[in-house]
Structure 1
Amino acid sequence: MSEIKNLMEDNIRNNKVAYLATFLFFSIGVVLGAYTIKYMGDNNTTELNKYFSTFISSLGDKSINYNEIFLSSFKSNFTLFGIIFISGIFILGFPFLLLANLWKGYTVGFTFSFLLTTYEYKGIGLAIGAVIPQNIIIVPVMLLFSSIFLNMSIGKLIAFRNKSKKISFEIREFGNILIVFSILLGIGIFIETFVSPNLIKLIITQFYS
């Protein structure tokens, strides 16, 4: 375990620029998502409002479909991480990798801003319940994962352009880290499947019923 910790610390220390780039694109996405709500038309805002109001009124009475939530979370997260992985192993894949981070930030910012804008102070509880728990795990893991493969993709581009300077990236060097990332991502999916829905349901029954 200490070996994995040392490997991750070395990677962070040696790839500060990659971490900064992924964090920057994620942050830009959060801002864009938040501002999208502000500048949405009245019709779109009304439709979203109706949809979420119906969801809130029905969730308090219905049992939670954990299988559906798990499949949705699994699909969305592994699609995101798959795009990051595939983008990282190609020479010109890094723009798509950064766009994946931008999109994740956008969805987080959009959801959080929508709940706060629509439900004002009551939306704080919903926003915290719906967005925060799983993303405490998923977002840092995504940023670390993205940084490793961003560095890999750019390194391959440098090696391709400057053939006299060979830069070798072996995925097996990150094998232990990837296993840890998979475990942490699994924890994030577990939280999104079992913790967040019950937390949202608790908030709804206490403050919206």
Structure 2
Amino acid sequence: MQSLRNSFKDQTSLYIFVSVLFLVGVVFGALMVNALSLEQQQDLGRYLGNFFVTVDQGLNPVQQEAYWDIALAHLKWIGLIWILGFSVIGLPVILILDFLKGVLIGFTVGYLVGQYSWKGLLFALVAVAPHNFIIIPVFIISSVCAMTFSLYIIKNRVLMQKHGSIKQPFMSYTGLTAAMMLMILAVSTFETWVTPAMMRWVTPLLL
């Protein structure tokens, strides 16, 4: 990744920008909870109620899913970002994905807190937060790496300011993405077997 660092010394700025965009998505997602109609809130409430009962009975559907189902759900995001890094038009799409990831997390936590107060916050801390402490940085690192590589392509192929072969930057980009995917596989293990057990500790408070 050294060649990319030398070509784009503002990588730190990209990290800050992507992180802020993600946080804006989180805030937006939390505010979306207030825009739900009464019927939508009731539907979500019934769904969560059934989910909590299922968890409390030890039949958590998350635990029953295959490990690869959970892992692939995360790997698809990273794989899509990796592919978008090869195109000029991929830059704005990567930013949209960063924002949407924040919206999903913000909405989930915002709804739990809005409906169940501190109990919902406690549930979010054990069900949403632990694995996302790793997944979110992985997502941000992958996004910045993809954006950096895309900018490299724009500068060296579109603007014709060639600075050597693209092979080394490509290998570095792909290598880092592969490392992030390995991180996802490890975190998916935690999410598959540890998170459901933690959820069962807290769920009785919500029933």
TM-score, normalization by structure 1: 0.85
User: 1:152 Cα deviation (Å)?
Assistant: 0.9
What is the CA–CA distance in structure 2 between the aligned matches of 1:150 and 1:196, rounded to whole Å?
A: 32
Q: How do 1:114-193 and structure 2 match up within 5 A?
A: 114-166=111-163, 169=166, 170-193=169-192
Matched residue of 1:177: which SS? helix
Residues 25 and 133 of structure 1, relative CA distance in 2, 3 Å threshold: same
On the 8 A contact 1:26/1:101 being kept in 2, the answer is yes
Q: Which amino acid aligns with 1:119?
A: Y
- 2:102 equivalent in structure 1: 105
Which residue identity does 1:196 align to in structure 2? T
Contact 1:155 1:167 in 2 (8 A): no
Q: How many residues align?
A: 204
Describe how 1:1-209 pairs up with structure 2 within 5 A.
15-65=11-61, 66-68=63-65, 70-166=67-163, 169=166, 170-205=169-204, 207-208=205-206
SS, match of residue 91 in structure 1: coil
SS at match of 2:194: helix
Q: Tell me the alpha carbon deviations over residues 3-61 of structure 1, each in whole angstroms, 9 at most, x when there is no partner.
A: xx999998997511221232122112111110110121111111101110111122111
- Structure 1's 163 and 208: CA in aligned 2 closer, same or farther, altered over 3 A? closer
Amino acid at match of 2:93: F
Where structure 1 has 5 or more consecutive residues not aligned to the other structure, the ranges are: none
Deviation of 1:148 after TM superposition, in Å, equals 0.7
Equivalents in 2 of 1:42, 1:56: separation in Å?
21
Asked if the contact 2:116/2:206 (under 8 Å) is kept, the reply is no
Identity over aligned pairs, percent: 22
Distance 1:50 1:29, change over 3 A: same
Query: One-letter code of the match for 2:33?
Result: I
Report the 3-state secondary structure (helix = DSSP H, G, I; strand = E; otherwise coil) of the residue aligned with 1:163.
coil
Q: Which whole-Å CA distance do the structure 1 matches of 2:185 and 2:6 have between them? A: 24
Counterpart Cα distance in 2 of 1:143 and 1:178: 11
Task: For residue 105 of structure 1, report the CA deviation from its aligned partner.
Answer: 0.7
Structure 2: which amino acid aligns with 1:203? V
1:97 alignment partner AA: I
Stretch of structure 1 that moved more, 65-74 or 86-95? 65-74
- Quote the offset at 1:74 in angstroms: 2.0
TM-score (norm 2): 0.86
Letter in 2 for 1:84: I
CA displacement 1:152-207 (0-9 Å, x = unmatched): 112212334421444754221245433432221112211211121111111113x2
Structure 2 unaligned residues grouped into runs of 5+: none
Partner of 2:128: helix, strand, or coil?
helix
